[in-house]
Amino acid sequence: MTNKPTAIVIGAGIGGIATAARLARHGFSVTVLEKNEKPGGRTNQIIRDGHRFDIGPTLFLMPEIWEETYAALGEKMSDHLDLRRIDPTYKVHFSDGLQLQLTSNLGEMQTQLEKVEKTAFTGFLNYIAEGSKHYKVSLEKFVGRNFYNIFEYFSLGNLPLLFKLKALTKHYANTSRFFKDERLKAAFTFQNMYLGLSPYDAPATYSLLQYTELAEGVWYPMGGMYAAIESLVGIAEKLGVKLVYNAAVKKMKVAGSKVGGVELEDGREFNADIFVGNADLPYIYKELLPNKAEAKKLEEKLYTCSTIMFYWGVDKPYPQIAHHNVFLGGDYKASFDQIFKDHQLPEEPSFYVHAPARTDSSAAPAGQDTLYVLVPVGHLDEKREQDWGTMVTEARKAVLTRLAKEMGITDLEQHIKFEIVYQPEVWKERFNLEKGAAFGLSHNFWQVGYLRPRNRHARYKNLYFAGASTHPGTGLPIVLLSARLTSERILKEMSTIAVQNMTKALNAART
């Protein structure tokens, strides 16, 4: 009998959990080391006084990727998650009073869009058709596969597809082909913020986001997004994965071309054959590995924005607030420049409000409300003066002012029982996110595909990565793809090593 191969996964985010479960399913003995007291990473939750908040992601998108993950683990997603479709997906509020409800109901979309711009519905259909092509080609040819060298990425077959995907065209500029009204351009590009990107810098490829929302749906798992974490953890544990909490890794112990083990902050040591970093990739290079030159290169890359978060437990319901609500600032471009160039809070911030009790009454006590507010803001920047206390105060004021002006909610502040605030410093401290960038490394042409930090270390051949800052990128479904790709690479390379060792043994036996 041979011993099982062993693996250590650093970080119990959704990418770490999914990778650990996939490896366990293929015969590995897996241990997950998590610095915090419970799993989930940014996909976590707060429960206080009967109010339940998702901390980070609130949108369940691309259900077919989730289904593949469960199937690969020998399970059916429908046995674990009670999904409810949210339609209209959002209520979008503009500073001039215009409101749009984005919905998969084409008749309703036509009525709304043509009130704004006579030809907008035709433009919308063409835009969604383009998004469909981008989605399918991206998943098949770029996002859903590993690239082992640059020639695979820039192959003769792929080069025309990069142009077809409009990888070098900016998303906001591309919407001019479909819409003339600036508000409609904003309504169909703000979704770039899911990736922590500015639509003025993001590739036009990301029109795929609007396609996935309206064609495949925005869903909500009853119990919140954390229900998905709990179910995947349960599956992983059933497959034999051991999760160790309050286990912050201090450093990786390297020798030659391999990682031999990890040392925790409390002095404990763990050894394994394979190591998977699910902590933020730039953090691993900077804090856990000895070669600081690579960390310096990563520090100079582009990062996504951060967020100021308000988690409000409210003692009365506000039914006029829908499940998903987006409030767009008046000067759309200026707000993104202030976030991504100045690394500040915009003068007229856009923001998102999530009211999960509209769909799931267990998210709040009876007769009360649970409100989650996300305000995009610049990431931490040591070269600039950033007063986070002041910015939190200004963000709170901006949110309350717009809710009062546009929804008639004038008494919210008096009915907030408690407030929990996250800002970039909290994201960095709690989740080891470099620069407090809430979505990890950015996505532009030079930071996607093979040009993104790869999912295996160039020197340490048994160190792999899964998560938002490696290939293929950020967003929960994409991180689940990361787990699949990393697991496939580990299994492929372990199999190759096994064959090589067997060949050496046979050759040695012959001599």
With 0.85 as the threshold, say if the pTM is over it.
yes
Rounded Cα–Cα distance for residues 178 and 204 (Å): 12
pLDDT in tens, 399-412: 999 999 999 999 99
pLDDT in tens, 179-234: 999 999 999 999 998 788 999 999 999 999 999 999 899 999 999 999 999 999 99
Tell whether the model's pLDDT for residue 502 goes beyond 60: no
Least confident among 200-214, 346-360, 461-475:
200-214
511 or 99: which leads in pLDDT: 99
Tell whether the model's pLDDT for residue 322 goes beyond 50: yes
Q: Which two tokens stand for residue 451?
A: 């040009």
Q: What is the pLDDT of residue 277?
A: 98
pLDDT in tens, 35-49: 999 999 999 999 999
Backbone angles phi, psi at 263, to 5 degrees: -115, 130
Q: What is the pLDDT of residue 1?
A: 39
Rounded Cα–Cα distance for residues 218 and 146 (Å): 27
Please tell me what DSSP assigns to residue 3: P
For the residues 372-397, what does the mean pLDDT come to? 96
Q: Which two tokens stand for residue 411?
A: 């008494």
Rounded Cα–Cα distance for residues 249 and 12 (Å): 12
Q: How confident is the model at residue 510 (pLDDT cuts 50, 70, 90)?
A: low
For the residues 127-154, what does the mean pLDDT come to? 94
Please check whether residue 180 is in contact with residue 117, taking contact to mean a CB–CB distance below 8 angstroms: yes
Least confident among 22-31, 245-254, 497-506:
497-506
Task: Report the chain's mean pLDDT, rounded to a whole number.
Answer: 95
Q: What is the pLDDT of residue 505?
A: 66
Could you tell me which of 486, 489, 458 has the C-alpha nearest to residue 470? Answer: 486
Rounded Cα–Cα distance for residues 143 and 153 (Å): 11
Could you tell me which of 325, 322, 327, 345 has the C-alpha nearest to residue 335? Answer: 345
Q: What is the pLDDT of residue 506?
A: 63
pLDDT in tens, 409-444: 999 999 999 999 999 999 999 999 999 999 999 998
pLDDT in tens, 477-500: 999 999 999 999 999 998 877 666
